[in-house]
């Protein structure tokens, strides 16, 4: 009976040791972007024109933490992209289908230089972008955005997407 208990204890401790030594999760060095939230509110621009403000929050995760470009740096690979690394497209809903809007000034941005904190290279961050559309030049009823970014190693992320958004609303939409 004593040997049986010893064997049972040994099996229990071996199982405990095996399961407590979980392998760390491996993250990809290619950034992953996802929609986090979008807020809409009515405002006025500096000239007093009515405007729709839209604040888009994107969550990014990158296994080697090389997101964003320093202000002083103009990496040669990004010269072809006008030194931008975040790209956002606007779509309007027409007859039930979303159609890309050709904007006079595209929604292309240079994200700030980010570094992982601590010993781990994994970087998780929110990127917030604010758009201001003068209502006269923004005749859309329902919109959505898609977005992607490049890290400093020029790895292109997946394409994230917002839900469809009725423009005449105000408030915050979360995933």
- Sorted by where each starts, the structural domains of the chain and their CATH numbers stand as 24-174 (2.60.40)
Residues in the chain: 175
Neighbours of 124 (CB within 10 A): 15
What pLDDT, on a 0 to 100 scale, did the predictor assign at position 3?
61
Structure tokens at 156: 């292109």
Neighbours of 17 (CB within 10 A): 9
What pLDDT, on a 0 to 100 scale, did the predictor assign at position 30?
94
Helix-then-strand count for the chain, H and E: 2, 10
Compute mean pLDDT per 10 residues along the chain, 175 residues long, and list them: 58 59 71 96 88 95 89 66 89 95 90 81 93 85 95 94 90 73
What pLDDT, on a 0 to 100 scale, did the predictor assign at position 21?
59
- Give the C-alpha separation, 52 to 6, whole Å: 72
CB 111 within 8 A of CB 127: yes
What pLDDT, on a 0 to 100 scale, did the predictor assign at position 118?
73
What pLDDT, on a 0 to 100 scale, did the predictor assign at position 107?
92
CB 89 within 8 A of CB 145: yes
- Give the C-alpha separation, 25 to 163, whole Å: 29
What pLDDT, on a 0 to 100 scale, did the predictor assign at position 9?
55
What pLDDT, on a 0 to 100 scale, did the predictor assign at position 46?
87
Structure tokens at 65: 């933490």
């Amino acid at each position: 009976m004593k040997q049986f208990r010893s064997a049972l204890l040994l099996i229990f401790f071996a199982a405990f040791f095996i399961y407590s030594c979980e392998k760390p999760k491996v993250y990809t060095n290619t950034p992953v972007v996802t929609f986090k939230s979008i807020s809409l509110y009515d405002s006025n621009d500096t000239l007093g024109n009515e405007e729709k403000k839209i604040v888009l929050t994107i969550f990014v995760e990158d296994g080697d933490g090389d997101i964003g470009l320093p202000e002083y740096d103009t990496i040669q690979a990004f010269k072809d992209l006008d030194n931008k690394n975040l790209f956002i497209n606007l779509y309007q809903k027409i007859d039930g289908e979303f159609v890309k809007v050709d904007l006079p000034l595209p929604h292309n941005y240079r994200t700030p230089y980010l570094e992982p904190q601590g010993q781990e290279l994994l970087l998780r961050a929110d990127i917030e972008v604010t758009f201001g559309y003068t209502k006269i030049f923004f005749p859309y009823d329902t919109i959505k955005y898609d977005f992607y970014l490049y890290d400093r190693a020029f790895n292109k992320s997946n394409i994230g997407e917002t839900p469809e958004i009725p423009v005449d609303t105000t408030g915050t939409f979360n995933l």
